[in-house]
Amino acid sequence: MRIISGEWRGRKLKAPEGLVTRPMLGRVREALFSTLGDEVREARVLDLFAGTGSLGFESLSRGADHVRFVERDRRVGAVLTENLETLGAKDRAQLRMGDALSPRMWEGEQWSLIFLDPPYPMLREGDGRQKVLSATGRLLNEFLAPGGLVLLHTEPRSISEHDFARDVAVRRRDYGRTVLWYLRLAEAGAEAEADADEVLPEGDSDDPGGDDWE
C-alpha cells in the first residue's frame, strides 16, 4: 500500500500479515481525498480504527498539521508505530492504544477532520451498530471543530441517512461495496442531503473478505 499524493507520494506503508486489517482500496482513497481538497491542509485529524494508518498518513502527506491514531490491536499498533518511524512522522502524530469508540481516546482536542472506519462486522452484529452511531453523534456534537467533518466508512445498507440526527448535514458517496458518509453539523452551513453522485462499479470493493478491517 502506497501513499497517493503529497510530501510522501509513492512511499510504501507496511501492513500486518494476514487479514487483520482492511485497507481502503487505493482508488477509493484517491477519490476521497480529491473530494476533501484543501480541507486537509493544516487539519487536526483523528483517525479511529486506524489500522495501518493509511488515512492519517495520507492526510499528513497532504499538509495536515497533526494526526492522532487510535488502534486497539497491539500487533497492528506495532506496525503503525513502524510506519511512523519510517516516515519520520512522530513529531506530527500520536498513537493511542485503546477502544476507538471511547471518548477518552478523543479528548484534549477539537478535531477538524475525523475518520471513523469501524470493522464491518461491528455494524452487522449485536449492539455494535448502535455504539457506532452513538459515538458518531458525540464526535459531531462535542469533539468536532466548527466547520469540521466526520467521514464514516461503511458497507451499503448497514445504515441510512435516517440514522443521523436532524441537525446533521449528510452526504453519501458510493464506491461499489464501499460507502463514505460525509457528516457535518447543519449549523456549519450545509443542508442535510443524501447523495450518491460518485459511484464505482459493483465489485470495485475494498473488502477482501468481509471480516477484516482497518
Residue-wise pLDDT tens digits, 90-111 = 999 999 999 999 999 999 999 9
Mean pLDDT (the chain, rounded): 86
Q: How confident is the model at residue 194 (pLDDT cuts 50, 70, 90)?
A: very low
pLDDT-above-70 percentage for the chain: 84
Confidence of residue 186 (pLDDT cuts 50, 70, 90): confident
3-state helix, strand and coil shares in percent for the chain, rounded to the nearest 5: 30, 25, 45
Q: Mapping DSSP to helix (H, G, I), strand (E, B) and coil, where does residue 92 land?
A: coil
Query: Is pTM, for the whole model, over 0.95?
Result: no
What pLDDT band is residue 204 in, cutting at 50, 70 and 90?
A: very low
Lowest mean pLDDT among 4-13, 46-55, 120-129, 185-194: 185-194
Burial (CB count within 10 angstroms: exposed 0-12, middle 13-18, buried 19+), residue 83: buried
In the prediction, which pLDDT does 22 show?
Answer: 55
The arithmetic mean of pLDDT across residues 28-33, rounded, is 92
What pLDDT score was predicted for residue 177?
86
Residue 211: pLDDT above 50? no
Q: Which cell numbers in the block locate residue 2? A: 502506497
Residue 160 has pLDDT above 50, yes or no: yes
pLDDT of the residue at 151? 97
Q: What does the pLDDT average to over 117-128?
A: 87
> What are the structural domains, with CATH classification, of the chain?
26-200 (3.40.50.150)
Q: Which residues are CB-contacts of 201 (< 8 A; sequence separation ≥ 6)?
A: 176
Could you tell me if 181 and 165 are in contact, meaning their C-beta atoms sit under 8 angstroms apart?
no
Q: How does strand 168-175 pair with strand 178-185?
A: antiparallel
